[in-house]
Every structure is written in C-alpha cells, then in structure tokens.
C-alpha cells in the first residue's frame, strides 16, 4: 500500500475539532418525489450556496443514511448552529440527502401498521437501491448533470458502493463513511421481525459504542444529542406517542447483514468500483472497526486515487459528536480534489 493512500487520523483530529464559521446562509429546497416503486414517495432535501446550486457533477453530492436514522436528521440537524449539509454548501457544493422508504418523511410501508412479527424484514437492500436510483435520477435531471458524487454512512455506504459498482457511468466520486465489510457480527439469532423499535437511550448507547468508558461522557457536547434526538424521533409520530418514545426502524439491513457480511460474503463487489473513493472511519467505531474496514479499502482495486482515513476520538456516531470537524474536513478535502 502506498503511503499516500493511508492517513492516520491522530494528526487530523486537533486541527479538525473546531469548525470554521459558515460563510453564508445556504439555499434550501425540499420536495417529495416518486420512489423506486409505485405508491412510494421519497423526501429529498438540498442545501447549496445561496447564489444558486452549482450545476457540476463534481459539486453535486447525494448522501445516503444508515440502517437506523433518516438522512434529513442525520445530515441536516444544526448542532452549534451548523449541520453537515450547511458545511458542505458553504464550501460551494450542492448537498442532497434522502429519506429512503420506511424512514423519516418518506412513505412507510403498510406493514408498519401491523405487529412487527407479522411480516419479514422490511426495506431490504435491493429495495432501497431502487429508491437510491430514483433519488439520483431526480437530482441529475434537476441539475442537468450526467453524474453525481455519492456518499453514505453505515448501511448507506454499502448502498452507495453497490450503486457505484453497478452504475459506473453515473458516479463521479464515492464517499464511504464507516462502511460494513465481511466479518461483521451477525444480528442476534432468531427470526427478524419487519421492524424494530429504538428508544433514545438505546440510540445514544449505539452511537457511543466502542469508546473507552472514561471518554463516553465527553463525546456529545451538552444538548447536542438531545437536540438531534428530538428532531429524529419526531419523524415517527406513531412512535413518538409511545411512552417512552421510540423510533420504528426497518430490519431489512439487518437481514442483509446476516446473509452477507456475517456469512463472509460481500453485498457488493469493490473491484467493480471505478470512481475515486474515500473510505473513512473513526478509531473507536465498534460497528465498522478500522482494521476490518481496511479490508474494503484494499479490495477497491479499480478505484483511482482512493483514500483510507482513520479519525481519532470518535465512534460510529462521530458526525454528531465533539470531533465531527474531523469527519467534515476529511470528506471536504476529498471532494475538493475532484472539484478543481
């Protein structure tokens, strides 16, 4: 491995911990578009420079959320006055996010009204990919570009990688944050229900998992997690009426993980990815440990100018934590390489 392809996050953490002020208020668009199947509507949101969205493939970015939380709150809830999408837009990019079906403000499958044990896991990866394709097509048409930059976190990184592998002509660059890879532990044994419910306490525990015990209390600055959780749990009105409030989450990604990653089979072929790719993960990420994620980076044999970056003092939830600036700057530096 050439040294220029492997960066250590410890050298980046101190410089990245403080975010620069937003240069300008971003422009904002939101809409519902047809999803990948009849009757499905997807919630899309864009943040871009106030002067107008740049109509350039290298500056048009779609972010895909993970298996638990919707994109509209994962990427665009302001913490200390700024969201990740605000930061990207302030750098001259057109940042989009989507809530896939079953998440956030997009269509929830009818099975959500039934007991979870009544049906198999909802929103498998193959289904979610149809929504990714619909969102990407809408953005390409709306901005008049042939390709876009595609990024994802967790399960969203797997979706982005699979889409890039199968549609090389549509992806300009690829950003994979905490992606799954072979060797991932299997979900608990037993039949998986259609969906599961997360409490706020469970969500916080999952986002902090892997950090040393002495570090956990300082991961989230005061009020950050609570503000984000308020916005996230409000996207599920039915779950919000329960005591305690819960977020209902499709189990399709968990079913995929059991059959692929945990069984030693990749869900996508990294060797088919022809776009420049960034693979980045936090040092304490228990869901995507750096040592395992490095295997994915090494398998990206056809990706030109690929990068692997480990960020210090963060977990799987680094984008909501004190050291989120490390993630923002690592990703933005990679985007600017291709934007000129």
Q: Which of 192, 203, 205, 198 is nearest to 240 (CA)?
A: 198
pLDDT digits (tens, 9 = 90+) for 32-46: 999 999 999 999 999
d(CA 224, CA 219) in angstroms, rounded, equals 10
pLDDT at 13 over 80: no
Percent of the chain surpassing pLDDT 90: 88
pLDDT at 278 over 90: yes
Q: Give the pLDDT confidence score for residue 184 in this predicted structure.
A: 85
pLDDT at 312 over 60: yes
pLDDT-wise least confident of 9-18, 204-213, 315-324: 9-18
Q: Give the pLDDT confidence score for residue 17 in this predicted structure.
A: 39
Cβ neighbours, 10 Å, residue 100: 32
d(CA 176, CA 331) in angstroms, rounded, equals 9
CA angle in degrees (0–180, nearest 5) for 266-149-256? 25
Q: Give the pLDDT confidence score for residue 188 in this predicted structure.
A: 77
pLDDT at 22 over 90: no
pLDDT at 316 over 80: yes
Q: Give the pLDDT confidence score for residue 216 in this predicted structure.
A: 94
What does pTM read for this prediction?
A: 0.93
Percent of the chain surpassing pLDDT 70: 93
Q: Give the pLDDT confidence score for residue 6 in this predicted structure.
A: 40
pLDDT digits (tens, 9 = 90+) for 117-135: 999 999 999 999 999 999 9
Q: Lay out the sheet containing 41-48: strands in order across.
A: 6-7, 307-311, 277-282, 171-177, 148-153, 60-64, 94-99, 41-48, 27-34
**Are the CB atoms for 103 and 73 separated by under 8 Å?**
no
Inter-CA distances, 93 with 33, 64, 202, 273, Å: 22, 16, 34, 23
Average pLDDT over residues 213-241: 96
Q: Mean pLDDT of all residues in the chain?
A: 92
- DSSP reduced 3-state for 14: helix
pLDDT-wise least confident of 15-29, 78-92, 231-245, 324-338: 15-29
Average pLDDT over residues 227-252: 96
The CATH number corresponding to 3-339 among 3.40.50.1820, 3.40.50.261, 3.90.1150.10, 1.10.357.10 equals 3.40.50.1820
Q: Give the pLDDT confidence score for residue 24 in this predicted structure.
A: 53
């Amino acid at each position: 491995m050439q040294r220029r392809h492997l960066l250590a996050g410890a050298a980046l953490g101190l410089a990245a911990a403080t975010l620069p002020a937003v240069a300008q208020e971003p422009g904002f668009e939101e809409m519902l578009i047809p999803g990948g199947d009849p009757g499905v509507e997807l919630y899309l949101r864009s943040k871009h420079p106030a002067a107008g969205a740049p109509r350039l493939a290298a500056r048009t970015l779609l972010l895909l959320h993970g298996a638990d939380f919707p994109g509209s709150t994962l990427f665009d809830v302001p913490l200390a006055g700024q969201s990740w999408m605000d930061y990207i837009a302030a750098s001259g990019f057109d940042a989009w996010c989507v809530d896939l079906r079953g998440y956030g403000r997009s269509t929830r499958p009818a099975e959500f009204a039934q007991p979870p044990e009544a049906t198999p896991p909802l929103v498998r990866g193959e289904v979610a990919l149809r929504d990714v394709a619909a969102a990407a097509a809408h953005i390409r048409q709306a901005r008049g570009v042939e390709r876009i930059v595609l990024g994802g976190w967790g399960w969203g990184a797997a979706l982005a990688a699979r889409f890039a592998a199968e549609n090389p002509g549509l992806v300009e660059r690829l950003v994979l944050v905490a992606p799954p890879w072979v060797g991932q532990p299997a979900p608990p044994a037993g039949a998986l229900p259609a969906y599961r419910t997360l409490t706020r306490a469970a969500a916080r525990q999952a986002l902090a998992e892997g950090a040393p015990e002495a570090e956990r209390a300082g991961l989230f600055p005061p009020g950050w997690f609570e503000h984000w959780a308020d916005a996230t749990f409000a996207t599920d009105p039915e779950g919000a009426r329960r005591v305690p409030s819960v977020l209902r989450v499709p189990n399709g990604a968990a079913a995929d993980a059991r059959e692929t990653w945990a069984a030693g089979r990749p869900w996508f072929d990294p060797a088919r990815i022809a776009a420049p790719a960034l693979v980045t993960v936090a040092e304490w990420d228990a869901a995507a440990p750096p040592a395992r994620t490095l295997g994915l980076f090494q398998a990206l044999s056809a990706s030109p100018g690929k990068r692997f970056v480990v960020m210090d003092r963060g977990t799987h939830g680094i984008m909501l934590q004190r050291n989120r600036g490390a993630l923002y700057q690592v990703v933005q530096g990679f985007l600017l390489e291709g934007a000129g």
